[in-house]
């Protein structure tokens, strides 16, 4: 009987994905043409030519389909997950999901050329949230906060709420909301959250940014699923929109299968059904869709009989042959002891799982976990000496590798334990997966000795992964840098000129001090520390001091903040009449000596002049003979001129005439005069 295969309309590449792939292929062709031309030119030259080794990358997989990305990589398009992996002169393609504004700024500062293949629909959302944020709206993004598209949208506004359910939306207390959506979310979820905001009578602006192609694809998938016996959804394992098609299809067709390619197709289920629907995600190549449909189209009774015979032969062959090393097998527990588990594998020999190949918690026994007849899955690690040795741990490692790979793809955080120090860094384990953390990635500060990290549990990002070689590189620094960037962005969003904040004095320069105000260093210029004149900041401050400072200027683009400390006290001349009056005797320190007089500091920012004629009761030819810089003196205020900001002082007014010392030569003259008389 000929099967009826119904392909849901709008399946396969969407406009944005197709555009991104075309951009990548065009860039690869240009690079290949350049290389060819360069090679031809080099052959004609006698001198060694200058080599161009600039590379072409995509930041993250261009689409969520291993077949496509593998083909592009074979042509020369490598994948990176952070701009730190590229260098000046390289070219980076921004995938259709888009990137935050900071990505473009970093690329420009490093000297990296960018080919922007962001989907136009996503690009529009970037502009919308950026403008909304600038005009004071609270941006709400309905979508998955871990999805690259949502991460990119979030990076175009200072603050945003990201919600993926009605429950999360109910936690938003703010009003004045500007609402957008991830292009691939279900419209039912979008409508549900919008209805909630309207029920709460919030002031909202709604931009339905769900891609029309996404809505059409999801609707056609639903309609197809309603009319068939079985649904096959084709897409990449990491494709968000493909999994949404799977979820939709399951609601209307219980027999729904998710596959990546032909080898995942459940042939036995296909044989049982005569009316089968096919839907495909936005990142599924046409060749894969056609291959799957072609293999389902014709299944006759003769084929069924052949398949049944083939299955029977497979069962016989399986019972005769022994499983190979590395193979994953299923079986039933025959016996559980304290040392091992005996497993019936359906072949001529039973398998053995030693105790050390099963993960046990403290105090657990094998006999507590396994009973006769239990279904069990394990990995074959050895088939020598007439025994089939199995491992549950090795099977778990596969699952743990999947988790690490998922963290790498989604740029999510995992926790690892530092096990030991090695040359250039440390070995850290994520469950059963061991990875390397370079010394430079252990902290955002310089690390001289890695021993201090041994035994610690660190949150990390996955920098690189090579599943074939069982190699993975973690970075704690990347996470710290990300958290610091978020913290700094949060601080910038809250700070305003004129704010008084607490800070910690971190370091000095000749021109001022740098003060940490909660994650950002601001410059406290020496002229803003005191109303008086300072030669160095440490005359007033010390490293580690907790001080209150005023935000004087902010330049977020350059990342600079100017602070003031003296503003915590009133400028002395504004309150001089409250503290000083003519005739008052004051004390102060001599800070400057001139030919015509000396300046005495009464308090920081307030100096008075003692004219040379007011230093002593006698005639003074050189002030330095009478007083010196740094000397504490008493003086009487003769005049206060607030308009010209001048104070006149007199030292001699505080000295009685008899207190004035008489020089020895003057005494001798007086004695001679008395003798003459």
* pLDDT tops 70 at residue 383: yes
Provide the H-helix boundaries in 378-447: 392-410
Going edge to edge, which strands form the sheet with 91-94?
A: 78-80, 56-59, 91-94, 113-116
Which pLDDT belongs to residue 305?
52
Residue 668 has pLDDT above 50, yes or no: no
521 and 602 co-located in one domain: no
Task: Tell whether 356 and 425 lie within a shared domain.
Answer: no
Both 388 and 448 in one domain: the answer is: no
pLDDT of residue 645: 87
Q: Are residues 24 and 115 in the same domain?
A: yes
Q: From residue 596, how far is each of 176, 609, 620, 637 by CA, in Å?
A: 67, 9, 10, 18
Mean pLDDT of 228-232: 94
Give domain status of residue 420, yes or no.
yes
Domain end call among 515, 544, 568: 568
The domain boundary residue, chosen from 171, 192, 210: 210
Q: H helices within 534-655, ranges in order?
A: 576-579
Asked if 517 contacts 549 with a C-beta cutoff of 8 angstroms, the reply is yes
| Domain annotation covers residue 246 | no
Q: Mean pLDDT: which of 305-319, 395-409, 411-425, 490-504 is highest? A: 411-425
Q: Is the pLDDT of residue 123 over 80?
A: yes
pLDDT at position 380 is: 85
Is residue 665 in a domain? Answer: no
CATH of the domain at 361: 2.40.50.140
My answer on whether 21 and 107 are in the same domain is yes
Least confident of 34-38, 138-142, 542-546: 34-38
- CA dist., res. 670 & res. 501, Å (int): 68
Q: Is the pLDDT of residue 632 over 50?
A: yes
**pLDDT of 300 above 50:** no
With a cut of 60, say whether residue 661 has pLDDT above it: no
Mean predicted confidence (pLDDT) in 39-48? 58
Mean pLDDT confidence for 541-569: 88
Mean pLDDT of the chain, nearest integer: 84
Task: Please give the Cα distance from 520 to 539 (Å, whole number).
Answer: 24
Sorting pLDDT into bands at 50, 70 and 90, what band is 320?
Answer: low
- C-alpha 279/C-alpha 218 separation (Å) is 9
Is residue 234 a part of any domain in this protein? no
Give the tens place of pLDDT for each residue, 445-464: 888 888 889 999 999 999 99
Is the pLDDT at 167 greater than 50? The verdict is yes
| H-only helix segments in 607-663 | none
| Chain centroid offset of residue 350 CA | 50
| First vs last C-alpha separation in the chain | 156
Mean pLDDT for 540-549 is 92
Angle at 508 between CA 506 and CA 512, to 5 degrees: 115
* Least-confidence region, from 355-369, 428-442, 555-569, 571-585: 355-369
Judge contact between 23 and 16, C-beta under 8 A. no
278 lies in some domain: no
Chosen domain end from 568, 599, 627: 568
pLDDT score, position 378: 83
Going from the C-alpha of 595 to that of each of 612, 635, 673, the distances in angstroms are: 8, 19, 34
Query: What confidence tens digit (pLDDT) does each residue in 240-255 have?
Result: 778 889 989 999 999 9
Which distant-in-sequence residues (6+ apart) come within 8 Å of 530 by Cβ? 539, 540, 565, 566, 604, 605
pLDDT of 466 strictly over 60: yes
DSSP 38-92: HHHHHHH-SSPPPP----EEEES-SSS-HHHHHHHHHHT-EEESSGGGS-TT-EE
- Does the pLDDT of residue 164 top 80, yes or no? yes
At 487 the pLDDT is 79
pLDDT digits (tens, 9 = 90+) for 213-229: 777 888 899 999 999 99
pLDDT tens profile 184-199: 888 889 999 999 999 9
Is the residue at 524 inside a domain? yes
Residue 514 has pLDDT above 90, yes or no: yes
pLDDT of residue 53: 58
Question: Which pLDDT does position 312 carry in this prediction?
Answer: 56
Q: Are residues 598 and 644 in the same domain?
A: yes
Upper half-sphere CA count for residue 418 (Cβ side, 13 Å) = 23
> What pTM value is reported for the model?
0.40
Q: Which of the following is catalytic: 31, 99, 149, 409? A: 149
Q: Is a pLDDT exceeding 90 seen at residue 16?
A: no
270, 238, 240, 274: which is closest to 257 by C-alpha? 270
Cα separation, 119 vs 19, in Å, equals 8
Domain that includes residue 343, residue range: 321-395
- Are 232 and 292 in contact, with CB atoms under 8 Å apart? yes
Summarize pLDDT for 138-160 with one digit per residue, the tens: 999 999 998 889 999 999 998 89
Which pLDDT score, from 0 to 100, does residue 207 have?
93
Distance (Å, rounded) from C-alpha 63 to C-alpha 73?
12
Number of H helices, E strands in the chain: 17, 32
One domain, residues 24 and 112 = yes
Residue 654 lies in a domain: yes
Shared domain for 151 and 81, answered yes or no, is no
Percent of the chain with pLDDT over 70: 90
Q: Taking a C-beta distance cutoff of 8 angstroms, is the pair 618, 625 a contact? A: no
Spatial distance between the Cα atoms of 397 and 435, rounded to a whole number of angstroms:
13
Together in a domain, 82 and 138: no
CB-based contact 420:428 (threshold 8 Å): no
Pairing of strands 113-116, 91-94: parallel
Closest C-alpha to 84, from 413, 489, 461: 461
**Residue 301 pLDDT level (bands cut at 50, 70, 90):** very low
DSSP class of 2: B
589 contacts 630 by C-beta, under 8 angstroms: yes
Q: Which tokens in the block code for residue 656?
A: 């009685």
pLDDT at 610: 92
Dihedral sign of CA atoms 526, 532, 535, 538 in order: negative
> 502 and 491 in contact (C-beta within 8 Å)?
no
CATH of the domain at 203: 3.40.1010.20
User: Known catalytic residue: 149?
Assistant: yes
Listed in order, strand segments (DSSP E) in 245-374 are 256-259, 275-280, 328-336, 340-344, 351-354
Check which CATH number belongs to the domain holding 103 and give it. 3.40.50.11270
pLDDT number for residue 409:
87
Specify whether 532 is located in the same domain as 543. yes
Question: Could you tell me which residues come within 8 angstroms of residue 620 by beta carbon, excluding any fewer than 6 positions away?
Answer: 612, 613, 626
Nearest of 131, 114, 52, 43 to residue 80 by alpha carbon: 114
Residues 343 and 380 placed together within one structural domain of the fold: yes
pLDDT at 674: 46
* 131/112 same-domain check: no
When pLDDT is averaged across residues 348-352 and rounded to a whole number, the result is 83
Banded pLDDT at 133 (limits 50, 70, 90): very high
Total number of domains in the chain: 6
- Give the torsion through C-alpha atoms of 78, 84, 90, 96, to 10 deg: 60
Contact 425, 437 (CB under 8 A): yes
Q: Is residue 389 part of a domain?
A: yes
Q: Which of 141-155, 161-175, 211-225, 587-601 has the lowest mean pLDDT?
A: 211-225
């Amino acid at each position: 009987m000929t099967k009826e295969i119904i392909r849901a309309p709008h399946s396969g590449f969407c406009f944005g994905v197709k555009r991104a792939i075309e951009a990548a292929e065009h860039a690869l062709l240009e690079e290949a043409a350049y290389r060819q031309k360069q090679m031809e030119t080099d052959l004609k030259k006698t001198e060694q030519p200058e080599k161009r080794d600039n590379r072409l990358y995509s930041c993250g997989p261009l689409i969520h389909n291993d077949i496509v990305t593998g083909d592009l990589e074979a042509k020369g398009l490598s994948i990176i997950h952070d701009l730190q992996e590229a260098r000046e002169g390289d070219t980076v393609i921004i995938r259709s999901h888009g990137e935050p504004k900071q990505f473009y700024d970093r690329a420009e500062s490093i000297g990296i050329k960018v080919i922007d293949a962001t989907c136009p629909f996503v690009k529009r959302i970037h502009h919308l949230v950026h403008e909304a944020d600038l005009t004071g709206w609270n941006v709400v993004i309905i979508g998955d906060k871990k999805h690259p598209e949502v991460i990119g949208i979030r990076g175009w506004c200072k603050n945003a709420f990201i919600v993926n359910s009605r429950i999360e939306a109910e936690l938003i207390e703010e009003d004045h909301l500007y609402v957008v959506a991830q292009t691939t979310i279900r419209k039912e979820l979008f409508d549900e959250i919008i209805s909630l905001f309207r029920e709460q009578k919030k002031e909202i602006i709604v931009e339905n940014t769900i891609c029309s192609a996404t809505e059409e694809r999801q609707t056609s998938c639903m309609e197809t699923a309603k009319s068939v016996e079985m649904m096959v959804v084709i897409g990449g394992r990491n494709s968000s929109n493909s999994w949404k098609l799977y979820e939709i299809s399951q609601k209307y067709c219980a027999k729904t299968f998710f596959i990546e390619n032909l080898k995942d197709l459940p042939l036995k289920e296909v044989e049982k059904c005569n009316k089968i629907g096919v839907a495909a995600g936005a990142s599924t190549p046409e060749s894969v869709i056609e291959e799957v449909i072609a293999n389902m189209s014709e299944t006759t009774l003769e084929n069924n009989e052949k398949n049944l015979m083939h299955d029977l032969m497979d069962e016989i062959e399986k019972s005769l042959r022994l499983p190979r090393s590395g193979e994953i097998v299923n079986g039933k527990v025959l016996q559980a002891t304290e040392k091992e588990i005996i497993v019936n594998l359906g072949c001529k020999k039973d398998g053995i799982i030693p105790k050390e190949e099963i993960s046990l918690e403290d105090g657990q026994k094998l006999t507590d976990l396994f009973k006769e007849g239990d279904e069990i899955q394990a990995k074959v690690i050895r088939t020598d000496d007439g025994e089939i040795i199995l491992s549950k741990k090795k099977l778990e490692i596969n699952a743990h590798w999947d988790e690490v790979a998922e963290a790498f793809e989604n740029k999510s955080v995992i926790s690892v334990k530092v096990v030991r120090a090695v040359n250039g860094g440390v070995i850290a384990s994520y469950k059963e997966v061991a990875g390397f953390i370079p010394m430079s990635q252990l902290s955002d500060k310089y690390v001289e000795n890695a021993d201090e990290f041994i035994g610690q549990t660190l949150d990390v990002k996955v920098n690189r992964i090579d599943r074939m070689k069982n190699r993975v590189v973690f970075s704690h620094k990347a996470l710290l840098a990300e958290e610091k960037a978020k913290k700094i962005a949060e601080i910038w969003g809250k700070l305003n000129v004129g704010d008084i904040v607490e800070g910690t004095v971190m370091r000095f320069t000749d021109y001022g001090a740098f003060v940490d105000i909660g994650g950002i260093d601001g410059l406290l210029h020496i002229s803003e520390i005191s109303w008086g004149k300072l030669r160095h900041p440490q005359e007033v401050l010390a490293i580690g001091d907790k001080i209150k400072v005023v935000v004087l200027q902010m330049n977020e683009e350059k990342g600079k903040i100017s602070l003031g400390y003296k503003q915590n006290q009133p400028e002395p001349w504004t309150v001089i009449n409250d503290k000083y009056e003519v005739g008052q005797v004051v004390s102060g320190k001599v800070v400057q000596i001139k030919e015509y007089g000396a300046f005495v500091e009464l308090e920081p920012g307030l100096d008075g002049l003692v004219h040379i004629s007011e230093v002593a009761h006698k005639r003074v030819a050189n002030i330095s003979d009478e007083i010196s810089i740094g000397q504490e003196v008493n003086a009487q205020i003769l005049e206060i001129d607030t308009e010209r900001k001048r104070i006149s002082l007199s030292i001699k007014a505080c000295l009685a005439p008899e207190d004035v010392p008489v020089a020895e030569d003057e005494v001798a003259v007086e004695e001679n005069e008395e003798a003459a008389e």
